[in-house]
Amino acid sequence: MAELIALTEVRKVYNGERAHAALDGVSIGIAAGEVTAIMGPSGSGKSTLLNVIGGLDRPTKGTIVVDGVDLGRLSEAGLARFRRARVGIIFQFFNLLNNLTALDNVTIPAQLAGMKPGQARRRALDLLERLGIAPLRDQYPARMSGGERQRVAIARALINNPVLLLADEPTGALDSHSGDQVMAILGDLNRTGQTLVLVTHDERLARSSATRVVRLVDGAVADQRGDGSRSLVQLQ
């Protein structure tokens, strides 16, 4: 499979070069269609790695190429356009706007990307239907369960047909039943070819879902295992 993500000697230092490096010489390649789990203790750089892959943060040194685009060559506006067009992000605590309905939460990224309102609404309704929460389209997040809110967040992440889906502890705020449901949804997406990079503390989740596991310690890659040849659905 073609390589979708390539990181070369990526280093990220906050508060100057004398500070502790959040990422220290990370080099990894991720093929299209893989499910890659990023693991490691708290403070090991997992979320920072996810952020630089998604163009939410810039590395201090090194190069990051995603879907053929060198992120270091993009302006801030260019990075924003890149994220809207090619990257979907699922957050642990959903990050939904509480004053908007499920449908409106999902359509916002599409409208920001320039999709016509009618098209955005139709696409959002289709995603809510696929994820089994179409009846909740007019509900506000406060009236939903954690699993329902995460499904809305997944729909929002998918609205612009991203080539890459990033998930930061996608089941961390859920009970085990809701977490299993969310992972089944992500498994269905992977079966259709969706590339997924997820940060997780859950060893069981990583073993059962990932085609590759990357372990970070003190900002460096301590171990990589997996050949990318199996899908998340096959492992469930």
Residues 6+ apart with CB under 8 A from 127: 106, 155, 158, 159
* Local confidence band at 123 (pLDDT 50, 70, 90 cut-offs): very high
* Local confidence band at 19 (pLDDT 50, 70, 90 cut-offs): low
pTM, full prediction: 0.89
For the chain, helix (H) and strand (E) counts, in that order, are 8, 10
Residue 158 CA to residue 162 CA, distance in Å, equals: 6
Percent of the chain with pLDDT over 70: 93
Q: Which amino acid is at 172?
A: G
* Local confidence band at 40 (pLDDT 50, 70, 90 cut-offs): very high
Residue 231 has pLDDT above 60, yes or no: no
Residue 235 has pLDDT above 50, yes or no: no
Structure tokens at 39: 């693991």
* Local confidence band at 198 (pLDDT 50, 70, 90 cut-offs): very high
Average pLDDT over every residue of 46-68: 96
pLDDT tens digits for range 212-221: 999 999 999 9
* Local confidence band at 17 (pLDDT 50, 70, 90 cut-offs): low
Q: Between 178 and 16, name the one with better pLDDT.
A: 178
pLDDT tens digits for range 81-122: 999 999 999 998 899 999 999 999 999 999 999 999 999 999
Comparing C-alpha atoms, which of 153, 147, 149, 95 is closest to residue 124?
A: 153
Average pLDDT over every residue of 119-148: 95
Percent of the chain with pLDDT over 90: 72
Comparing C-alpha atoms, which of 10, 112, 17, 107 is closest to residue 51?
A: 10
Q: How far is CA 117 from the centre of its chain?
A: 25
In this predicted structure, what is the pLDDT of residue 15?
A: 78
Average pLDDT over every residue of 169-179: 88
In this predicted structure, what is the pLDDT of residue 232?
A: 39
Residue 234 has pLDDT above 80, yes or no: no
Gyration radius of the chain over CA positions: 17
Helix residue spans in the chain (DSSP H): 46-53, 76-86, 102-112, 117-130, 146-158, 176-191, 203-209, 232-235
Average pLDDT over every residue of 55-64: 95
Structure tokens at 210: 């990932």
* Local confidence band at 180 (pLDDT 50, 70, 90 cut-offs): confident
User: What three-state secondary structure class fits 7?
Assistant: strand
Residues 6+ apart with CB under 8 A from 95: 153
Residue 227 has pLDDT above 70, yes or no: no
Q: Between 179 and 50, name the one with better pLDDT.
A: 50
